Amino acid sequence: MREDLETRPVDLLDPAQLDVARAWVGVHAAVQRDLFGDRGSAWTLEEVQGFVRGSDKKRVARGVWVGDRLVGALEVHLPLRDNLRSAVLWLSVEPSARGRGVGSALVAEAERIAAEHGRSTLLVETEWAQGGSDAAEAFATARGFVVAQTVLRSEQSLPADRAALEALVAEPGAEDYRLESWVDDMPDAWLEDRALLQQRMSTDAPSDDLDLEEEDWDVERLRASLARARASGRRAVETAARHVPSGRLVGFTTVGVSAGEPGLGYQQDTLVLTEHRGHGLGLRLKAANALRLMDELPEVTAVRTWNAASNEHMLAVNRRLGYAVDGYSREWQKITGGAEGTGGSGVGGGARLG
């Protein structure tokens, strides 16, 4: 490590460190601006704090300083209920401070934290804009990370053609299914089915070469996750598919909207249970949810989504809905083999290297 670099703990919830916490979030945001201009995807401090409070992951934050200036930000996510071998890294270097060893210091600290907690699989994400290339490729490769999944970032402009969306929802072939939706607060009657669907997201969605295991979801975990998002100021619009003969929810799609950027929706999970595929439910769900989003949150002018490059079906669905690719990301993985634990590894939202 360079002599002028100092790595220190950051407590994102400590009122006495509020300025440090804002600077820490600011480093992550600066990388997004550098990569995507005003189309970067940045968390607000309030959202990050919401994730930290009562999370089902242990989160360890660090910063790297040059003198009195915070130039590097790291958070290590350590799942506590499942995927107990994994450590998910979120690290960024202030663009003007690159080439000074800040990234190396952050990775070294992340690996130390992971080993301290008995984690042997490290995961991190890199991103780049359409027309560019992965500037962090050489850095990640040199430190023993390998690409486990490639992801396309796409965006849908809103408002979309209402008649076209309504026609997609009404396409024949799904007579045994009914679409239902909610805004901001999930109905209690949904929780049991939705917890199962959330768990199946970890097995039914493409994971390519990622070392993943099934996640452990129940009603209380789902309820707590929803409460954290709501407390952070996030709004949500979700549509689910109910199988009428059984009465069970068998698919869903969710868009979240940050209080810090109310004009942009984030397409979060979309899933149709494997045994209910073949009826066009994914397309119907996303078209219906876009209509509800347009009605409930008309200030949202775009929805951004990420899909595995191997997920040809969902990419085709997105093309029909008018999504256009504007960037890419890679999920990188490093298995150290030097720690013991149970389970596989998981990639959580916001894990980035920049």
DSSP 117-181: TT--EEEEEEEEETTS--TTHHHHHHTT-EEEEEEEEEEEESS--HHHHHHHHT-SS-TTEEEEE
Q: Return the structure tokens found at 256.
A: 């979240």
Sign of the CA dihedral with 134 first, then 140, 144, and 146 last: negative
pLDDT of residue 50: 87
- Dig out the tokens for 137 from the structure: 């490729």
User: How far apart (Å, rounded) are the C-alpha atoms in residues 236 and 257?
Assistant: 6
Q: What is the pLDDT of residues 6-26, one digit of tens each?
A: 999 999 999 999 999 999 999
Cα–Cα separations (whole angstroms), residue 318 to 51, 140, 152, 283: 29, 30, 11, 8
Give SS3 for 239. Answer: strand
pLDDT of residue 340: 36
Q: Global pTM?
A: 0.90
Task: Give pLDDT tens digits for 267-309.
Answer: 999 999 999 999 999 999 999 999 999 999 999 999 999 999 9
For residue 169, which of 158, 181, 186 has the smallest C-alpha distance? 181
Kindly state the tokens that stand for 94: 């202030």
Looking at domain 161-321, does it have CATH number 3.40.630.30? Answer: yes
Q: Tell me the CATH architecture of domain 5-150+331-335.
A: 3-Layer(aba) Sandwich (3.40)
Residue whose C-alpha is closest to residue 31's, from 135, 108, 185, 158 = 135
Give residue-wise pLDDT tens across range 123-143: 999 999 999 999 999 999 999
What residue ranges do the domains of the chain occupy?
5-150+331-335, 161-321
Give the number of other Cβ atoms within 10 Å of residue 15's Cβ: 7
**DSSP state string for 186-230:** --GGGHHHHHHHHHHHHHHS--TT---------HHHHHHHHHHHH
Would you say the CATH fold of 161-321 matches that of 5-150+331-335?
Answer: yes
